[in-house]
Amino acid sequence: MTQEFDYTYDATGFYVCTDFIDQHERQRFCDELDSLQWEDANFSLTKRINSLHRRSPLFMSLAYGLLANPLIKRTMTYPSRLIESYALSRMPGGRLPLHGGSFEHLEHFGIPEATDISCAYMFRTGCMYSMRVKALIYLDDILSLEDGPLFYIEGSHKENYSFFRSFREGNEVLGFERLVRPVMVQQGSCIILNEALVHGAEIKKSHRPRRLIVFTFGPTFVSDWRELSKEEANVERIGYVVPDTED
Ligand SMILES: O=C(O)CCC(=O)C(=O)O
């Protein structure tokens, strides 16, 4: 299992664990999300619930379980921490533009400034070093393009060429269509995803539910961009924030 995981995650940037949760757990998670209440998200036609682990003991215990998961640990090698948790429910017509990537342009007030390598990925001396990893737990089947599957650009987690400016601009990535791959999943599956992989979700055309729970992890030395601010009285909390970097 370990060899297969290492090879697949390193070569493709993700790994699908089928039957990660059983039907009973899945139903408990769905009921818990409904009790927390879905809200409108930044992206149109997607409902969202933030900070699952802070708002629900059930999701707090899931967060602990994921943090201790040996596969997630392997992706980072360093001791890891939880960065965020949220749930998404995509409506018909909803999509998630491409984002992530090992190499994304940073802009400051619209001026190209540098490149963001905060999601970079390396494989060194038999160990994997991912700076940001997501556990995506799918609560519904996504078995056709109509269901709006996750899609990704093959090889982008190892790419040094930044073909991708900013998902905020909404530009399609032209010229790379042959490298775009959808990922179908059965309900109860968990995708362990390297954020260095450029990915998004296809437009959802079906009326079937499409819900997932997301937990993001990083090495313990990785902080959360949003917890720092330029206008902060406490010198230990002052930081450089790039608002359009994926949070
Ligand atoms: O909706 C999905 O399948 C993927 C979600 C995702 O990649 C994200 O929230 O960053």
What is the per-residue pLDDT across 111-169, written as a single tens digit (0 to 9) for each? Answer: 666 677 888 899 999 999 999 999 999 999 999 999 999 999 899 898 776 655 544 55
Distance 201 CA to ligand 1 centre (A): 7
The DSSP secondary structure of the chain, one letter per residue, reads -HHHHHHHHHHHSEEEETTSS-HHHHHHHHHHHHHH--EE-SSTTEEEEE-HHHH-HHHHHHHHHHHT-HHHHHHH-S-EEEEEEEEEEEPTT--EEEE--SSEEEEETTEEEEEE-TT-EEEETTEEEES-EEEEEESS-B-SGGG--EEEETTGGG--S-----GGGT---TT-GGGEEEE-B-TT-EEEEETTS-EEEPPP-S-S--EEEEEEEEETT---GGG-BSS-SSGGGB----TTS--
Average pLDDT over the chain, rounded to an integer: 88
- Ligand 1: which atom is nearest the Cα of residue 193? 7
227 falls in which pLDDT band (50, 70, 90)? confident
Distance 185 CA to ligand 1 centre (A): 13
- Ligand 1: which atom is nearest the Cα of residue 88? 1
Instruction: Write the residue with the smallest CA distance to atom 6 of ligand 1.
Output: 200
Kindly list the domain boundaries of the chain, sorted by start residue. 2-222
Which of 29, 43, 36, 17 is CA-nearest to residue 203? 43
pTM: 0.90
| Domain 2-222 is found in CATH 1.10.10.10 | no
**pLDDT reported for residue 167:** 47
Q: How far apart are CA 217 and CA 243, in angstroms?
A: 20
- pLDDT tens digit sequence for 164-195: 554 455 555 666 778 889 999 999 999 999 99
